Amino acid sequence: MEAILLKNYNFESLEFVPSLQTPTPKDDEILLQHTAIPLTNDDIKFISGHYYPYRTSDQILPKDIPGFAGVGKILALGKNVRGFSLNQRVAYPFGGLGSMCAVRSINQTFCFAIPDKINDMEVAFLIRDGLIAHSCLFQVVSLKKENTILVHDIQNPISQLICSWASNAQLKVIASITQEKHRAIAQNCGAKLILHYKAGDFVEAVHRFTENRGVSALYDTIGKEVFANSIESLRICGAYVQLYGSKDTGPNIDHKKLASKSIFFTIPMVEHYKNNRKDIIVSLANIFDMFSKKVLKVNTIQYPLRQISIANADLKRGEISGMPILIPNL
């Protein structure tokens, strides 16, 4: 099978291996043939060495297969696996590293059946980032109808999901864009006010829109470039949800600024908020339902698995505004 190996914490060191031994599933594991592998924010952070839960100090994990989430069909079942069948379509949002390969074995606990009406590309977009968006809106912060939120960088798939879902829930959404060509994405996601993140009157525009109250919560996928304006845009007791955990681009936290408004600052990890299988099943059912009702929109771009570094470079240059989905050669 083909696979991507991580030799060091950067995209330049990724090694494409065209032929790696296919694993044998253990008693509680499923052998899964991947059909779609999302290249998520968390994957990019991990490969770059900035994903907090999986890296401390300058520890290097040689010859690991990266990747958190995947979609595929079942090739084989361990003897203790129950509730799944051969050739069934399943997906997993997490379950340890190892998704960036053609075939992997993974514990059945992390696998979930997917509806026939949703294709593998769509599931790949939703399976992890959908759960992140769900936790951000319904667990991390307590929001009410007519509250105003700020969502940074609408080019980001998570930002698009949060914006669309929040708008449908009758929240007022302010969206920031990094390029003018992304304005249409923000409009399509239901944003009521769209601002360039470097606009000179950014804070003033937010306060005019909120009648000087500020936003109840903001979701930041950019980092230190927007930290100062974000703090000024929040209301007293507002929530700052950082969704980009990079030590290079993350903000230098000024505790005095946080204390000046009693701001709640958090970096939520989906594995912490979605740590119960039954809750995940309910959340995924909600996500797939919102997608079927066209509340949540999917924007994907396919790349062969071997072109993972090209996909990341296209994202960094702003040439694509959706989620790269990596397709292994089956």
pLDDT for 38 equals: 98
Q: What are phi and psi of 91, to 5 degrees?
A: -145, 160
Q: Is residue 238 part of a domain?
A: yes
Residues 74 and 104 in one domain: yes
Alpha-carbon distance of 79 to 273, in angstroms, equals 30
Tokens of 120: 């593998």
User: Is position 289 within any domain?
Assistant: no
> How would you list the strands of the sheet with 148-151, edge to edge?
193-196, 172-177, 148-151, 215-220, 234-242, 264-266
Query: Do 233 and 141 fall into the same domain?
Result: yes
Does 259 share its domain with 174? Answer: yes
Whether residue 215 is contained in a domain is answered as yes
Looking at residue 249, what is its pLDDT? 58
pLDDT at 225: 87
Same domain, yes or no: 119 and 134: no
User: What is the model's pLDDT at position 62?
Assistant: 47
> DSSP states of 243-277 as a string?
----TTTS----HHHHHHTT-EEE---HHHHS--H
Whether residue 229 is found in the same domain as residue 242: yes
- C-alpha dist (Å) from residue 242 to 155, 218, 272, 289: 16, 8, 15, 27
Residue 60: the pLDDT is 46
Evaluate whether 215 touches 233 at the Cβ level (below 8 Å).
Answer: yes
Are residues 17 and 85 part of one domain? Answer: yes
136-144 long-range contacts, Cβ below 8 Å, gap at least 24? 136/162, 136/219, 136/241, 136/243, 136/268, 137/162, 137/165, 137/166, 137/169, 139/273, 140/239, 140/241, 140/266, 140/268, 140/273, 141/216, 141/217, 141/239, 141/241, 141/264, 143/169, 143/171, 143/216, 143/217
92 and 138 in a single domain? The answer is no
What is the length of the chain? 330
What distance in Å separates the CA atoms of residue 214 and residue 146, rounded to the nearest whole number? 13
- Domain assignment of residue 233, yes or no: yes
Q: Is 277 contained in some domain?
A: no
CATH of the domain at 181: 3.40.50.720
Q: Contact at 8 Å (CB) between 299 and 323?
A: yes
Q: Identify the pLDDT of residue 188.
A: 96
Same domain, 154 and 57: no
Check which CATH number belongs to the domain holding 45 and give it.
3.90.180.10
Counting the structural domains of the chain, the total is 2
Count Cα neighbours of 175 within 13 Å in the Cβ-side half-sphere: 31
In a domain, 23, yes or no: yes
Q: How far is residue 305's CA from residue 262's CA, in Å, rounded to a whole number?
A: 45
Per-10-residue mean pLDDT, the chain, length 330: 91 93 96 98 88 52 82 98 98 95 97 97 98 97 95 94 97 95 95 95 97 97 89 96 65 83 94 94 98 96 97 90 92
Is residue 21, in this structure, part of any structural domain at all? yes
Q: How far apart are CA 212 and CA 48, in angstroms?
A: 39
- Kindly state whether residues 139 and 225 are assigned to the same domain: yes
Instruction: Let me know whether 50 and 23 are in one domain.
Output: yes
Q: By residue range, what is the domain housing residue 86? A: 3-127+299-327
pTM as predicted: 0.93
Residue 117 lies in a domain: yes
Same domain, 179 and 75: no
Kindly state whether residues 137 and 106 are assigned to the same domain: no
Per-residue pLDDT, 244: 63
